[in-house]
Amino acid sequence: MKEELLHFIWQSKTLLKQTLITESGEPLKIIQTGSLNTDAGPDFFNAKIKIGETVWAGNIEIHIKSSDWKNHNHQSDEKYNNVILHVVYHHDIEIYYANGNPIPCLQLRNYISPLTLHKHRQLQLNQNTIACEKIIQFPPEPLLLNFMERLLIERLQHKCLAIESMLIQNNSHWENMFYLLTAKYFGMKTNAQPFEWLAHNLPLSVLAKHKNSLIQIEALIFGAAGFLDADYTDEYIHLMQREFAFLKEKYQLKTLDKSIWKFARTRPANFPTVRLAQFASLIFQSSHLFSKTLKVTHINQLINLYKIQTNKKLNPYHFIGHETKAKQTEFGIDAIEILLINTVLPVMFLYGKLNENEKLTEQSISFYEQLKSEKNSVVKFFKNLGIESKNAFDSQALMQLKNYYCANLKCLSCIIGNHILLN
């Protein structure tokens, strides 16, 4: 038994339907359960109850046992002077106000269903992938849809914390921050850190000065990444080497050691040299990319903005001794949508939020509904349980559900967990 379960029972309003009697034998009616307090002090503020014929307004304190009041030393804390009801699972001793009068007490063991307690124990002693896997029940569709929207917003807000930190580090320069964030995405999980180092070593302001020359953009990116220091037979790479030798000296650029780039256990289409070539093409095709992103009004416009035509003269596999031209170098629609889901739309949401542009925040959420669902183990798992992911809105919500609620056994804060316990 945990106090969180008693908080849940009190908040769930199931007690409103029951005939309640205090430990002193007086009828009790709950008018308002109050607001949960997450700081020091009583558990619920601004509650309203009726005991006998008297209506009381004040705070509620909840414990497993009445004696916990003394164990927690509440009798010496003035924050508890306005408690109007002590709610406990087991009433083992009488508790009194400073003036000697007993504090009204409601003992919940008389009102909580044994089935609810059994289900809660099952959830807490979970040995499955998620706690409710074997006993899952879904609430009515409107409640579930509202919960899914809440999950998506929570996931966006969590992502925005990291993005806002990057924005502060870049002196609130949105284009610079977006450039760094986009570079990190192109590295995916395996090479995110090298891509981030590259973007820091190669400022957007330098790339902007060469926005009309693809070979110079490619030379700057591959050179700063450390891939132009070796000997190659490819003539186009020779041209890039000559360009970079001049540009490196001009801008006093630092270069990375190419050994930091990871190729092992990576599909050829995701080799860092392929992603660098795609990144160079995106930089060349789209100056002021973030500003253009904010102006789109339709999902197809947004997708088209990130369509990349890679340079056919540059074969990124040559940098690692793969001379074949058969391997994929295009930045496909699936890659674009993942970029939008994980990078572009969270930044759009944050920009709207910080600039009080409600239309933009709503548009970013709408775009999630218009993008395909991600394909991953979490989406597949919930599909087997009966929750279909129809679009990116759903898949992002399910990621939040699994990673935050299920992984941390927050069943009492989950609408699905609530439904299981109360039905």
Confidence (pLDDT) at 248:
97
**How high is the pLDDT of residue 278?**
95
Per-residue confidence (pLDDT) for residue 386, from 0 to 100:
92
* 261 falls within a domain: yes
Structural domain boundaries enclosing 73: 3-112
pLDDT of residue 327: 64
Dihedral, 289, 292, 296, 299 alpha carbons, nearest 10: -20
Of 354, 351, 348, residue with least CA distance to 371: 348
Measuring CA to CA, which residue among 44, 138, 125 is closest to residue 82?
44
Looking at the domain assignment, is residue 131 inside a domain?
Answer: no
100 and 194 co-located in one domain: no
And the tokens for 69? Answer: 């009041």
The verdict on 107 and 174 lying in the same domain is: no
Please name which of 170, 167, 182, 176 lies closest in space to residue 282, comparing C-alpha atoms: 182
> So what's the pLDDT on residue 379?
96
What total of structural domains would you count in the chain? 2
138 part of a folded domain: no
pLDDT tens figures, 226-262? 999 999 989 999 999 999 999 999 999 999 999 999 9
Q: Backbone phi, then psi, for 46, in 5-degree steps?
A: 55, 40
d(CA 323, CA 215): 20
17 and 106 share a domain? yes
User: Which of 297, 332, 354 represents a domain boundary (last residue)?
Assistant: 354
pLDDT of amino acid 186: 93
Q: Give the number of residues written for the chain.
A: 423
Residue 192 and residue 358 in contact, taking contact as beta carbons nearer than 8 Å: no
Domain shared by 176 and 98, yes or no: no
- Confirm whether 415 is domain-assigned: no
Last residue of a domain, one of 307, 329, 354: 354
Q: What is the pLDDT of residue 145?
A: 95
pLDDT of residue 127: 67
Residue 322 is predicted with a pLDDT of 60
Residues 106 and 177 in one domain: no
Strands 20-21 and 83-90 turn out to be: unpaired
Tell how far CA 266 is from the center of its chain: 26
Q: Is residue 421 part of a domain?
A: no
Paired with 96 in beta bridges are: 102
Q: Which residues, given as ranges, of the chain have pLDDT below 70? A: 126-127, 322-328
pLDDT at 122: 77
pLDDT score for 333:
92
Q: What is the pTM of this model?
A: 0.80
> What pLDDT, on the 0 to 100 scale, is given for residue 324?
53
**What is residue 21's predicted lDDT score, i.e. its pLDDT?**
93
Identify whether 133 is part of a domain: no
**Which 3 state secondary structure label does DSSP give 35?**
strand
Tokens of 200: 């820091």
The pLDDT of residue 328 is 64
